[in-house]
A and B are shown apart, each in its own frame.
Chain A
Amino acid sequence: MNLVQQIESEFKLYEHQAQKDDFFEYRKKAFQTFQKNGIPTIKNEEWKYTNLSKISEIGFQTSCISNLDADALVKAGILNKIESNKIVFVNGCLFPELSVWLEDEPSIICTNLAKARKEHAAIFETHFGKYLPQEEGLNAMNSALMSDGAFIYVPAGKRMKYPLMLTNITDANESNILQQPRNLIVIEKSAAATVIENYIAVGDNSSFTNVVNEIFVDENASLEHYKVQRAKGDSYHNNYTQIVQNANTNINQVTLTLDGQWVRNNLHFNMNGENCNSLLYGLYIPDGQQFVDNHSRVDHAKPNCFSDEKYKGILKDKSVAVFNGKIMVHLDAQKTNAYQRNQNILLSNDATVNTKPQLEIFADDVKCTHGATIGQLDEEPMFYLRSRGISENEARKLLLNAFADDIAEKIKIPELVQILEEEIERKL
C-alpha cells in the first residue's frame, strides 16, 4: 500500500469510529484537500529536487506502541544535557514519564493537543489551524490524521525561565513508523519563550515523520526557536513551521540538521506588523546518502521589518542538499531590510547542492541582498595554516569549525552549542 492509499484507508477507519475526537470537522476538510492535492511530485516547482516517490512506496504503520525504556533514554543523556522543561512524544503519542516542568508561573501552559482542546478551548480555537497553508499536500495530510503534539502557551507579559525541550522520538524497533506530530505555540503580548524541537530515532526500520508547527507571536513578544534533527537510521522527516508574528516581535530560529536519511524543512515567516525582527539560521552537515532540503519563505507584509537569513552546509560523501529561500517584500513593506545567504562547502566530488535564493520585491524603498555560494575548502587558508605547522587534517577541522561557528554563535543556549560542537566533531 502506498502512502496515499494508506492515508485514505486510515481516514476511513477513523471516520467509521463511533467515538470520534474533537477534530473531526477539521480533519475531514483537510482530508478532502489531501485527496484533491495529494502528495507533491517533482513536477511541482517547490519539490523539483525533492522526490517523495520512494518514501511513498515504503509502507508505514501508525502506532503508539513502544517498548522504549525511559530510564535508558535518560541515562543515554540525550534529554538531560540542557536544564529545561520537557515534553516528550514517542511515535506521535505523549510519553508522560519523561515530562519535566520547572516553571513556577502557573499561567504558562505546556500540555498535549488533545488535552489543550478540552481545557484551554478559547485560546486553542483562536489559533489552531488558523495559520497553516492547508493546500500543501503534506500539511493537509498532517491535518487529516495528525497524531498528538504539544500545546505551548505563554500568556501576556510572562517569560519562561527555562527553555522548553519538545522531543520527538521515533521508535522503529517493531515496524516502519508513520507519525504526524502537530504542535501549536502561542506567545502572547510582551511574553517570551525558548523552544527546542528535538528529533531522535531508534530502531532499524524506516520511519516517516510529518510535522506541522503553528507558531503565533503577538506584539512585543519574543521567541527563540531551535530545531535539532538527529534522527539516525532510515528516517524520513518533513516539517512545516508556520510562524505568524505581530508588530515589534523578535524571533530567532535556528535549524540544525545532523542526521536523518531524508529531511525537508519548510519554514515560513509571516511578518504581520511593523518593526519585526526575524532571524533564520541553519546548519546542515549531511554525509553518506543523506538528503537535506531547506525551504524557507519570509513574507515582509508590513513596513520597517528586518530579516536575516543564513544557511550553511558542509556536505560529505554522496549527500545532497537543497536550499530554496524566498523573500517576498510586499507593496506596503517600505523600509524593509532583508538579507539572505546560503553557503556550501563540498568535501567530496560526489556531493550535490541545488540552491535557489529568491527575492521578490514589490515595494520601492527597501534594502535587500541575497546570494549563494558552493565551493570547496579554499586552498589559500589551508596552505597558510599548514605553513605554520598545522596538519592538513587539523587545518581542515579549524576551517570547517570556523565556517560552522557562524551559525553556532546564533544559538543562545551554551549547552546546545556544546552539543552541536560535539556533533560537528563526530560528523567531520
Chain B
Amino acid sequence: MLKIENLKASIEGKSILNGINLDIKPGEVHAIMGPNGAGKSTLSAVLAGRNDYEVTEGVVDFLGKDLLDMSPEDRAREGLFLAFQYPIEIPGVSTTNFLKTAINEKRKYLGLEPMEATDFLKFMRSKMEEMEMDKSLTSRSLNEGFSGGEKKRNEVFQMAMLEPKLAILDETDSGLDIDALRLVSAGVNKLRNPDRSFLVITHYQRLLDYIVPDFVHVLYKGRIVKSGDASLAKELEVKGYDWIKQEVEAAV
C-alpha cells in the first residue's frame, strides 16, 4: 500500500526527517509514536503534500505510484486521507457542498460521472447514520464554531464519505476528553477493513487503547528507532521516552 524509503525532509534548511523507512500493507494499522519534535507531524504533512517542507531524499510509493510527485488533491483522489490535528474552520462553505465537491472531483479524476444530487444526499445520510453524526452538520459551515471533539468527529466522518485506502490520523487524540476520544475511535474502528490501512500518529498511548495497532514505531530525531507490536506502546506509556532516547544516544 505505502512504502517509504529513506525519506528525508527539511524546512527552511533545517532537516526534520532523516531517513524514514516504513512499509504498510493493506488492512494494517501502524502507529507512529514519539516525543515532541521527533518529526511526527512533519511526516504526515509530507505525505499529504504540504509544500512548506522540502523533500531532500527518498521515495514514497503509494499503490504503485510516486506519491511525492503528486499534488495534494491527486494524492487524495488516489485514496490518501489526512485527518488533521487542527481541522480548519471554513465559514460560508457548507459541509454538504464541500463533500459533494470533493467526491465529484475524485470521481472526475477516476473517469466517473458526477454523483446525482439525490444519490449523494442518500449516501451522505447513510454515512451520517453509520457514524452517528448530528443532523445539523449538513447545513453548518465546515467546522465553524465546532468544539474540538466535533471537529475530530467531522474528520472521521469525512473519511467515511471519501472512503480512502490509506488514512493518516495526525494526533487525532489531542484535545479530546475521554468521551470524545471513545466516539472518535469507535468511528475509526468502523472504517477498518482488510483493504484499508491506517497510519496513526500520536504522542500518547491512550488512543491506541481504542484503535489497537498491528505495529508501533517510535520516531525520534527524524528516524524510526524502534518498532514492535501494540505492547511497545504500553511499554512507552509506563517507561516514557527517555529510555529510547538513551538507547539511541548509546548506539551513537
**Interface flag for B24 (CB, 8 Å):** no
CA distance A401 to B141 in the complex (A): 13
**Interface flag for B82 (CB, 8 Å):** yes
User: Could you give, for residues 380-395 of chain A, a 1 whenever the CB lies within 8 Å of some chain B CB and a 0 otherwise?
Assistant: 1101111111111010
Binds A, one of B99-107, B191-199, B219-227: B99-107
CA distance A394 to B88 in the complex (A): 17
Within 8 A of A (CB), among B47-80: 48-50, 71-73, 75-77
CA distance A383 to B45 in the complex (A): 11
Q: Are A390 and B88 in contact (CB under 8 A)?
A: no
**Interface flag for B158 (CB, 8 Å):** yes
16 contacts between A and B (CB under 8 A): A384-B88, A385-B90, A386-B73, A387-B73, A387-B81, A388-B73, A389-B73, A389-B76, A389-B102, A389-B162, A390-B102, A398-B93, A398-B98, A402-B90, A402-B91, A402-B93
A381-B90, A388-B158, A389-B77 given; name 13 further pairs at CB < 8 Å.
A380-B88, A384-B90, A388-B81, A389-B102, A391-B73, A392-B73, A398-B90, A398-B97, A398-B98, A399-B90, A399-B93, A401-B92, A402-B93
Q: Using Cβ atoms and an 8 Å threshold, which residues of chain A touch B84?
A: 384, 387
**Interface flag for B87 (CB, 8 Å):** yes
Q: How far is the CB of B42 from chain A (nearest CB, A)?
A: 15
**Interface flag for A8 (CB, 8 Å):** no
Q: Using Cβ atoms and an 8 Å threshold, which residues of chain A touch B98?
A: 385, 388, 390, 398
Q: Are B91 and A390 in contact (CB under 8 A)?
A: no
Q: Are A402 and B105 in contact (CB under 8 A)?
A: no
Q: Are B105 and A389 in contact (CB under 8 A)?
A: yes
Q: Using Cβ atoms and an 8 Å threshold, which residues of chain B touch A386?
A: 49, 71-73, 76
Q: Across the interface, name the chain A residue whose C-beta is closest to B84.
A: A384
CA distance A388 to B99 in the complex (A): 8
**Interface flag for A131 (CB, 8 Å):** no
Q: How far is the CB of A387 from chain B (nearest CB, A)?
A: 5
Given known contacts A387-B76, A391-B73, A391-B105, is B50 in contact with A405 (CB within 8 Å)? no
**Interface flag for A403 (CB, 8 Å):** yes
User: Could you give, for residues 317-345 of chain A, a 1 whenever the CB lies within 8 Å of some chain B CB and a 0 otherwise?
Assistant: 00000000000000000000000000000
CA distance A199 to B146 in the complex (A): 42
Q: Using Cβ atoms and an 8 Å threshold, which residues of chain A touch B49?
A: 386-387
Q: Are A405 and B92 in contact (CB under 8 A)?
A: yes
Q: Are A384 and B92 in contact (CB under 8 A)?
A: no
CA distance A389 to B74 in the complex (A): 6
Q: Are A387 and B82 in contact (CB under 8 A)?
A: yes
Q: Which of A380, A389, A398 has the most C-beta atoms of chain B within 10 angstroms of its own C-beta?
A: A389
Within 8 A of A (CB), among B79-123: 81-82, 84, 87-88, 90-93, 97-99, 101-103, 105-106, 109
Given known contacts A388-B76, A389-B106, A389-B162, is B71 in contact with A398 (CB within 8 Å)? no
Q: How far is the CB of B217 from chain A (nearest CB, A)?
A: 23
**Interface flag for A136 (CB, 8 Å):** no
Given known contacts A402-B93, A406-B92, is B50 in contact with A394 (CB within 8 Å)? no
Q: Which of B50, B87, B101 contacts A390 (CB 8 A)?
A: B101
Within 8 A of B (CB), among A180-221: none
Chain A, interface size: which category? Answer: 20 to 34
Q: How far is the CB of B176 from chain A (nearest CB, A)?
A: 19
Q: How far is the CB of B73 from chain A (nearest CB, A)?
A: 5
**What are the 8 tightest A-B residue pairs by CB atom distance, in nearest-first order?**
A402-B92, A389-B76, A384-B88, A386-B72, A388-B102, A389-B106, A386-B73, A389-B77
Q: Using Cβ atoms and an 8 Å threshold, which residues of chain A touch B88?
A: 380-381, 384
Q: How far is the CB of B95 from chain A (nearest CB, A)?
A: 11
Q: Using Cβ atoms and an 8 Å threshold, which residues of chain B touch A390?
A: 73, 98, 101-102, 105
CA distance A394 to B98 in the complex (A): 10
Q: Which of A384, A387, A398, A405 has the most C-beta atoms of chain B within 10 angstroms of its own C-beta?
A: A387
Q: How far is the CB of B154 from chain A (nearest CB, A)?
A: 12
CA distance A389 to B109 in the complex (A): 9
Q: Using Cβ atoms and an 8 Å threshold, which residues of chain B touch A381?
A: 88, 90
Q: Which of B50, B75, B91, B102 has the most C-beta atoms of chain A within 10 angstroms of its own C-beta?
A: B102
Q: How far is the CB of B93 from chain A (nearest CB, A)?
A: 5
Q: Are B101 and A398 in contact (CB under 8 A)?
A: yes
Q: Which of B82, B92, B109 contacts A403 (CB 8 A)?
A: B92
Q: Using Cβ atoms and an 8 Å threshold, which residues of chain B touch A388?
A: 73, 76, 81, 98-99, 102, 158, 162
Q: Across the interface, name the chain A residue whose C-beta is closest to B76.
A: A389
Q: How far is the CB of B112 from chain A (nearest CB, A)?
A: 13
Within 8 A of B (CB), among A10-59: none
Q: Are A387 and B92 in contact (CB under 8 A)?
A: no
Q: How far is the CB of B141 from chain A (nearest CB, A)?
A: 8
CA distance A390 to B102 in the complex (A): 5
Q: How far is the CB of B7 from chain A (nearest CB, A)?
A: 19
CA distance A194 to B99 in the complex (A): 37
Q: How far is the CB of A376 from chain B (nearest CB, A)?
A: 15
Q: Using Cβ atoms and an 8 Å threshold, which residues of chain A touch B97?
A: 398
CA distance A158 to B84 in the complex (A): 56
Q: How far is the CB of A344 from chain B (nearest CB, A)?
A: 16
User: Could you give, for residues 199-212 of chain B, a 1 whenever the CB lies within 8 Å of some chain A CB and a 0 otherwise?
Assistant: 00000000000000
CA distance A398 to B105 in the complex (A): 13
Q: Which of B72, B75, B76, B81 has the most C-beta atoms of chain A within 10 angstroms of its own C-beta?
A: B72
Q: How far is the CB of A420 from chain B (nearest CB, A)?
A: 14
Q: Are A383 and B50 in contact (CB under 8 A)?
A: yes
Q: How far is the CB of A152 from chain B (nearest CB, A)?
A: 34
Q: Are A383 and B90 in contact (CB under 8 A)?
A: no
User: Could you give, for residues 349-388 of chain A, a 1 whenever the CB lies within 8 Å of some chain B CB and a 0 otherwise?
Assistant: 0000000000000000000000000000000110111111
CA distance A314 to B90 in the complex (A): 17
